[in-house]
Structure 1
Amino acid sequence: VRFRRNFGQTAAFAAAFERAVGEVVITIDADLQNDPADIGKLLQKVDEGYDVVSGWRIQRQDRWLSRRLPSVLANRLISLTTGVHLHDYGCSLKAYRRDVLQHIQLYGELHRFIPAIASWQGVAVAELPVTHAPRQYGQSKYGIDRTLRVILDLITVRFLLSYATRPMQVFGKLGLWSFAVGLGLGVYLSYVRLWEQQAIGDRPLLLLTVLLIVLGVQFFCMGLLSEMLSRIYFEGYRKQTYTVREELNAYSDPEL
């Protein structure tokens, strides 16, 4: 597949996944740092029953400060946030069962989070040490500057994994807490003004009260809008909120 321009690694993965026809899909970078001989080990792990097998560059041949240190920090943060503990999310040498990829939509720079995104399907994820060679051709575009992008993408992934089908759970809770605290402060200020006869117009607490109440209403409305958008997405595009591994004794009479 040749793009009209460079659309990025995530787009390349998405195009490949859409056109793959095999039972297992292998991804590997073209910079020759990964050894194709390790593909056999990944396939053996898939045969053991795993759905996603990720490579682990245990002896990574990259600069420590600009590449390895940001990678270590990012991997720990991603593992802690998503609950899918891998040492090397950035390793492109991975094996996937194709039926797992059929339920994943990639955009932005979410390719590094595929194991975490797939985790909501209940897939079995494994990790294997793989060979990593020094870079001989080209120049990497990854470094410390990508850390901020990883954090922003991680927030997106965390939200999608937890609240994609129930956004009101997060926005509604924020709205209720904000409104409740603002209402409590409003009751306190009313007591101070009416019973203690003290002026409250010049108190910063009054501004905070109004702000919290307004934010509470906005969060609640945002939750309602998110719920409607979620319904439109799943019902309009006939998206399922579940995945099926297999059906046993399925009855397929077209008249029923």
Structure 2
Amino acid sequence: MHSKKDMSIVIPAKNEAENLRQLIPSIKTLYPDAEVIIVNDGSSDATKTVAEDAGATVITHPYSMGNGAAIKTGARSASGEIIIFMDGDGQHKPEDIERLVHKVNDGYDMVVGARMLDTHSSVFRRYANILYNKLASLMTGHKIEDLTSGFRAARTRHFKKFLYLLPNGFSYPTTSTMAFFRSGLPVGYIPVRAEKRKGKSHIRILHDGTRFFIIILKIGALFSPMRFFLPISAGLFCIGLAYYGYTYINFNRFTNMSALLFISSLLTFLIGVISEQISSLHYKGIEDEQRRTKR
């Protein structure tokens, strides 16, 4: 059993009153000493009242600020050494929290509940997440089993250092996972079964394409800019070289299009170099802390 000082459970909630009626008592029964924080993200139902009646600490946003903003609010208020994030929609099982914490205590700084493929809410999201995971694995050099899972545990002191990087929307799991990898902090996974969501989802399917594009950019910009920009630069250079060869052989000339492609290749490479330097500054504090700890 974990004491309150050891564990804080943060649950962002928007109009989740019915789900919280069962979720909070289950958590309280399993982990009576844990700090349970419900971030009421501008709900129009009885989310606040239900959470307070169940004995949770409730922080209310005056209007809906987004899932990521709720996560940041909850993390700032958490006092436990380990912080657990889970959704308030009934998808995550409180029983799995113990497994997350156990793996953190085994030496990991973040542990993610990796959803089994057959438990994703739709076929589209299942294959989208496979693509996310493969792309992120390529960028990190580590196998990433679930990049977008909102069910995770992390050491609070590390997670709070990355709050300024987290977006206010729904891609905070991606950003936090990549930030931990980039800083050399161990990230582990445990398999979990996600239950079917109870109630209406706040994520709109039509926006998934845009979200995917943003996730790609975040992976490239936050973790390894050169791995992102260098292939693009090399591709532009090869296209320019091939086009120059074609125009030289057929027309004996160097065209403006070839020049444009070569210049674009060079500029993309330089942008990657600058981005790599800027990215390193985000993690300097963590790296300095790790060096002091080793001493």
Bigger relative CO (Cα 8 Å, ≥ 6 apart): 1
Q: Which residue of 2 aligns with 1:199?
A: none
Q: Which residue of 1 aligns with 2:88?
A: 30
- Whether contact under 8 Å (2:92, 2:195) holds in the other structure is yes
What CA distance in whole angstroms lies between the structure 2 residues aligned with 1:149 and 1:50? 32
Q: Which residue of 2 aligns with 1:187?
A: 248
Residues 24 and 212 from structure 1, CA distance in 2 versus in 1: closer, same or farther, beyond 3 angstroms? farther
Q: Which residue of 2 aligns with 1:221?
A: 267
Compute the displacement of 1:54 (Å).
1.2
- Whether contact under 8 Å (1:24, 1:98) holds in the other structure is yes
Compute the displacement of 1:221 (Å).
3.2
Compute the displacement of 1:178 (Å).
4.2
Question: Quick check: which one's strand share is greater?
Answer: 2
Please state whether the residue corresponding to 1:245 is helix, strand or coil. Answer: helix
Q: Which residue of 2 aligns with 1:141?
A: 202
Q: Which moved more, 1:94-103 or 1:140-149?
A: 140-149
Per-residue CA distance 1:187-225 (angstroms, 9 max, x = gap):
32443x8xxxxxxxxxxxx8xx53232132134235445
Q: Which runs of 5+ in 2 are unaligned?
A: 1-58
Compute the displacement of 1:166 (Å).
8.4
Q: Which runs of 5+ in 1 are unaligned?
A: 194-205, 251-256
- Of residues 106, 120, 126 in structure 1, which corresponds to 2:166? 106
What CA distance in whole angstroms lies between the structure 2 residues aligned with 1:167 and 1:91? 23
Residues 224 and 24 from structure 1, CA distance in 2 versus in 1: closer, same or farther, beyond 3 angstroms? same
In the alignment, structure 1 residue 129 sits paired with structure 2 residue 191: yes
For residues 26-175 of structure 1, the aligned pairs below 5 Å read 26-58=84-116, 67-83=121-137, 84-101=142-159, 102-103=161-162, 105-107=165-167, 108-113=169-174, 114-130=176-192, 132-136=194-198, 138-142=199-203, 144-161=205-222, 163-164=224-225, 169=230, 172-175=233-236
Equivalent residue pairs, number: 228
Compute the displacement of 1:31 (Å).
1.8
Please state whether the residue corresponding to 1:46 is helix, strand or coil. Answer: helix
For residues 236-255 of structure 1, the aligned pairs below 5 Å read 240=284, 243=287, 244-247=289-292, 250=295
1:38 alignment partner AA:
D
Residues 133 and 187 from structure 1, CA distance in 2 versus in 1: closer, same or farther, beyond 3 angstroms? closer
Per-residue CA distance 1:134-180 (angstroms, 9 max, x = gap):
444x3113364344134213321331255437887456534543443
TM value normalised by structure 2 = 0.61
Give the fraction of aligned pairs with identical amino acids, expressed as a percent: 20
Cα RMSD over matched residues?
3.7
What CA distance in whole angstroms lies between the structure 2 residues aligned with 1:210 and 1:59? 49
What CA distance in whole angstroms lies between the structure 2 residues aligned with 1:134 and 1:47? 29
Per-residue CA distance 1:54-103 (angstroms, 9 max, x = gap):
113449767xxxx2312321221122111154544443221012343224
What CA distance in whole angstroms lies between the structure 2 residues aligned with 1:168 and 1:61? 34
Please state whether the residue corresponding to 2:61 is helix, strand or coil. Answer: coil
Residues 241 and 211 from structure 1, CA distance in 2 versus in 1: closer, same or farther, beyond 3 angstroms? farther
TM value normalised by structure 1 = 0.69
Per-residue CA distance 1:78-129 (angstroms, 9 max, x = gap):
2211115454444322101234322461125422313244222233222223
1:68 alignment partner AA:
S
- Whether contact under 8 Å (2:119, 2:193) holds in the other structure is no
What CA distance in whole angstroms lies between the structure 2 residues aligned with 1:166 and 1:88? 21
